[in-house]
């Protein structure tokens, strides 16, 4: 007589275990929950800055962005008014200076590191570039205030203001002592160099080597290979790297606060004190007395967040598209 | 016979090649100069500012050199100029304690979020939501830190009615989560699939194999991510300025204003007293050693993992 195999009893708990795939569903839900928390953090930043700036949006609307008067303290002559243009102008100009200085240099460094550098040097130089990106910004600011400012005044700002500045109003003196847009832009350039060059190097290294070999086989020199076959291939990624650097420069707070002079008056000269959005928030938000003042500063933060979000979106897309390689390519 | 008359000769092309290659070398050299200078200045001036008091004492208001600190009377044998030289004594113990407490608390908040989110991104790669989650973590790591400070300020400081260490920790959490999530994801992807398959062949459910096989395999990498996040959090200034405000005394209370090294660097360099500027360099030195040390350590371990 054939023995009947014992069938495992179907209990409530075994059914439950099977239905949840022995706990996998819970694990999936748990990790999903924490992954969604990342989205939640971004949404929280958006909502808090949006709600916090409700006052200024009701009061000024879009004209907040190009209002030229920033006057948080009521006096007899000047009523309280909040216009973000001095801060926005300072942010844009200092970042523009940083970009003009850092983009060509950073791309050149990236090309050197990826294409021309002797193999022995590549590793240490690459590590150095990445370490520099990790140095806290307050240290760049400290060096800028204590060391670089004097040098910049003596060797760059004053000579330019005394020669070219006599004819070009935006380079004119008087040079503010170690404070101003130009010096802030220069320090920002030093800060974003590692970002630009590291990303340029990474996207150039992702260019397939047959791209180079094909050009070499036509008898091109090394520079022609780089400029004609490698850089165009990685162009989008390089632009993306520059945009990420720009994003860093726009939002940089400490170095700007320490070097820009925190003046909300609009002066024509690049050597005069100015302010940036981030510096204005850092220096005034803790002391804001009236709700509208606080709300305006939060409005600035919202604008800053919006700009960097869009920049990041475009930049990440460009970098991702380049390092992914051409469509349909199989390795 | 040449096809085009305006084509460059090889000698010309070779010259252009050399010149432009030279340009990239010059650019690299120019960029390295300020960067080397920054590190050198911090090491030399900052290293010179270190002594025992620096690590064991808190802030003390500066006093004139030739004055007895207790009676306020001129010390015997002082010279005329000494009255006008101001000496700050004391150290940054309160800053070291504050930075450690705030950053470690932030690490405790961000580790579970970052690691579990990283596990989700790596172990369930087919979820359509993943690209969006990754994008959000990029946005967080690219967001200006002052914006995070504003969020901490309005969300916590305003509600609690006081600056506090805990507000700083929450603000730093925003900045540390993306670093941990991305490194966890990257490192889990390096774990060979054979490991997962072997665990499954033994009948382990996925969560069990992930927690007992995959994650332990990648543990060094996850610790690496946590350390990198710690280094980033310890160096942030702007969000702390708006959340923990700074404190001149040693404080262990997370619900009251605290000090932190980057804030002290900022405050001391703005101070008019050279002796306090000296403290700023010392603080920068400690901060830079912390950040660079962690980064080098991480680099050494990841190089070992990849081999």
**A69: number of Cβ within 10 Å:** 15
Say how many domains are in chain A.
1
**Which long-range contacts does A324-328 make (Cβ < 8 Å, 24+ apart)?**
A325/A206, A325/A208
- Of the listed ranges A6-15, A164-173, A295-304, the one predicted with least confidence: A6-15
Asked if residue A310 is part of any domain, the answer here is no
Tell me if A138 is assigned to some domain: yes
Percent of chain A with pLDDT over 90: 38
> In the predicted model, what is the mean pLDDT of residues A207-218?
90
- Inform me whether the C-beta atom of residue A282 falls under 8 Å from chain B C-beta atoms: yes
The predicted pLDDT at position B76 comes to 64
Count of positions (residues) in chain B: 307
Q: Give the whole-angstrom CA distance, residue A273 versus residue A270.
A: 8
* pLDDT 10s digits, A276-317: 999 999 989 988 888 899 999 999 999 999 988 898 888 888
- Buried-exposed string A125-162: b where 16+ CB fall within 10 A, e elsewhere: bbeebebbebbbbbbbbbbbbbbbbeebbeeebbebbe
In angstroms, the separation between the Cα of residue A102 and the nearest Cα of chain B is: 9
Residue ranges of E strands in chain B: 63-64, 86-87
pLDDT given for residue B1 in this prediction? 46
| CA terminus-to-terminus distance, chain B | 55
CATH number for the domain harbouring residue A182: 1.10.3720.10
Domains of chain B are 93-306 (1.10.3720.10)
| pLDDT value for A330 | 42
**What's the gap in Å between the CA of A254 and the closest CA on chain B?**
6
- Inspect the interface and report whether the beta carbons of A286 and B241 lie closer than 8 Å: yes
pLDDT for the residue B279: 86
- Residue B144, CB half-sphere, CA atoms under 13 Å: how many? 34
Residue A13 lies in a domain: no
Domain-embedded: residue A215: yes
Q: Give, to the nearest 10 degrees, the angle between helix B261-270 and helix B274-306.
A: 150
Give yes or no for B156 touching A (CB within 8 A): no
Q: Of A38, A130, A301, which is closest to B133 when you measure between CB atoms?
A: A38
Interface test with B, best of A30, A40, A138, A257 (most B CBs within 10 A): A138
Q: Which residues of chain B have pLDDT under 70?
A: 1-6, 63-89, 305-307
* pLDDT at residue number A326: 57
Rounded Cα–Cα distance for residues B283 and B264 (Å): 7
- 3-state SS assignment for residue A41: helix
A331: confidence class by pLDDT, cuts 50, 70, 90: very low
Å from B66 to nearest chain A CA? 27
Residue A330 located in a structural domain? no
Stretch A23-48: mean pLDDT: 92
Contact between chains at B178 and A134 (C-beta distance less than 8 A)? no
Q: Is A297 on the interface with B (CB under 8 A)?
A: yes
| Mean pLDDT, rounded, for A35-53 | 93
**In this structure, is residue A247 part of a structural domain?**
yes
Q: Please, is B154 exposed, middle or buried when counting C-beta atoms within 10 Å of its C-beta (0-12, 13-18, 19+)?
A: buried
Residue A203 belongs to some domain of the structure: yes
The residue written with tokens 């940089």 in the block is: A252
* Domain presence at residue A129: yes
CB interface of A with B, residues 180-199, below 8 Å: 190, 193, 197
Q: Chain A neighbours among B 7-46 (CB < 8 Å)?
A: 13-14, 16-17, 20-21, 23-25, 27-28, 30-32, 34-35, 37-39, 41-42
Residue A256, chain B, CB below 8 Å: the answer is: no
Strands (E), B51-157: 63-64, 86-87
Q: Is the pLDDT of residue A328 over 90?
A: no
Decide if B164 touches A, using CB distance below 8 A.
Answer: no
Domain that holds residue A143: 88-276
The percentage of chain A sitting over the pLDDT mark of 70, rounded to a whole number, equals: 94
Select from A24, A111, A305 the Cβ nearest to the Cβ of B143.
Answer: A305
Beta bridge partners of residue A71, listed in sequence order: A81
> Quick check: B288 and A111 CB within 8 A?
no
Check residue B77 and give left, alpha or beta (phi > 0: left; psi -120 to 50: alpha): left
Q: Using CA of residue A211, residue A213, residue A216, residue A217, what is the dihedral sign?
A: negative
Q: What is the pTM of this model?
A: 0.88
């Amino acid at each position: 007589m054939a023995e009947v195999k014992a069938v495992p009893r179907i209990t409530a708990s075994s059914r439950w275990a099977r239905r949840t795939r022995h706990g996998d569903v819970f694990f999936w839900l748990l990790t999903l929950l924490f992954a969604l928390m990342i989205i939640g953090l971004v949404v929280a930043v958006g909502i808090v800055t949006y709600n916090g700036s409700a006052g200024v949006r009701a009061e000024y609307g879009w004209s907040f962005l190009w209002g030229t008067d920033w006057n948080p303290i009521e006096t007899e002559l000047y009523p309280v008014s909040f216009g973000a243009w001095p801060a926005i102008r300072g942010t844009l100009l200092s970042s523009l200076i940083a970009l003009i200085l850092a983009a060509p240099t950073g791309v050149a460094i990236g090309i050197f590191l990826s294409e021309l550098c002797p193999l022995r040097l590549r590793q240490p130089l690459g590590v150095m570039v990445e370490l520099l990106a990790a140095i806290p910004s307050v240290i760049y600011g400290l060096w800028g205030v204590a060391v670089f400012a004097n040098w910049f005044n003596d060797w760059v700002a004053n000579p330019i203001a005394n020669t070219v500045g006599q004819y070009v109003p935006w380079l004119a003196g008087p040079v503010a002592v170690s404070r101003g847009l130009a010096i802030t832009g220069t320090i920002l350039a030093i800060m974003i160099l590692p970002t630009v060059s590291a990303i340029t190097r990474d996207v150039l290294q992702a260019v397939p080597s047959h791209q180079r070999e094909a050009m070499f086989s036509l008898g091109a020199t090394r520079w022609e290979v780089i400029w004609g076959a490698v850089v165009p291939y990685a162009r989008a990624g390089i632009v993306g790297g520059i945009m990420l650097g720009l994003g860093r420069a726009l939002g940089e707070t400490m170095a700007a606060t320490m070097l820009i002079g925190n003046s909300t008056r609009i002066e024509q000269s690049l050597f005069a004190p100015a302010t940036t959005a981030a510096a204005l928030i850092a220096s005034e938000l803790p002391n804001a007395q009236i709700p509208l003042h606080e709300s305006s500063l939060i409005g600035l933060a919202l604008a800053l967040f919006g700009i960097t979000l869009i920049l990041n979106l475009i930049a990440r897309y460009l970098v991702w598209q380049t390092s992914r390689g051409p469509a349909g390519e199989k390795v | 016979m040449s096809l085009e008359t305006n084509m460059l000769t090889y000698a010309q092309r070779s010259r252009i090649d050399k010149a432009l290659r030279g340009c990239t070398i010059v650019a690299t050299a120019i960029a390295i100069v300020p960067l080397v200078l920054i590190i050198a200045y911090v090491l030399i001036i900052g290293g010179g500012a270190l002594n025992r008091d620096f690590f064991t004492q808190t802030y003390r208001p500066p006093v004139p050199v030739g004055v007895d600190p207790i009676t306020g009377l001129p010390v015997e044998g002082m010279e005329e100029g000494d009255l006008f030289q101001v000496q700050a004594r004391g150290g940054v113990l309160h800053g070291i304690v504050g930075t450690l407490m705030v950053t470690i608390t932030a690490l405790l908040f961000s580790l579970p979020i970052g690691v579990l989110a990283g596990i989700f991104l790596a172990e369930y790669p087919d979820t359509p939501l993943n690209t969006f989650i990754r994008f959000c973590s990029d946005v967080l790591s690219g967001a200006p830190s002052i914006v995070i400070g504003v969020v901490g300020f309005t969300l916590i400081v305003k509600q609690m009615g006081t600056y506090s260490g805990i507000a700083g920790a929450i603000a730093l959490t925003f900045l540390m989560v993306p670093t941990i999530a991305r490194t966890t994801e990257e490192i889990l992807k390096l774990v060979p699939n054979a490991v997962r398959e072997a665990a499954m062949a033994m009948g382990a459910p996925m969560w069990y194999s992930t927690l007992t096989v995959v994650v332990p395999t990648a543990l060094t990498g996850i610790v690496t991510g946590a350390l990198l996040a710690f280094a980033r959090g310890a160096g942030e200034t702007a969000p702390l300025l708006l959340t923990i405000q700074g404190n001149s005394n040693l404080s262990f209370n997370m619900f009251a204003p605290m000090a932190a090294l980057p804030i002290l660097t900022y405050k001391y360099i703005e101070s008019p007293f050279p002796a306090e500027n000296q403290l700023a360099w010392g603080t920068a030195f400690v901060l830079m050693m912390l950040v660079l040390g962690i980064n080098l350590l991480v680099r050494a371990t990841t190089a070992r993992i990849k081999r």
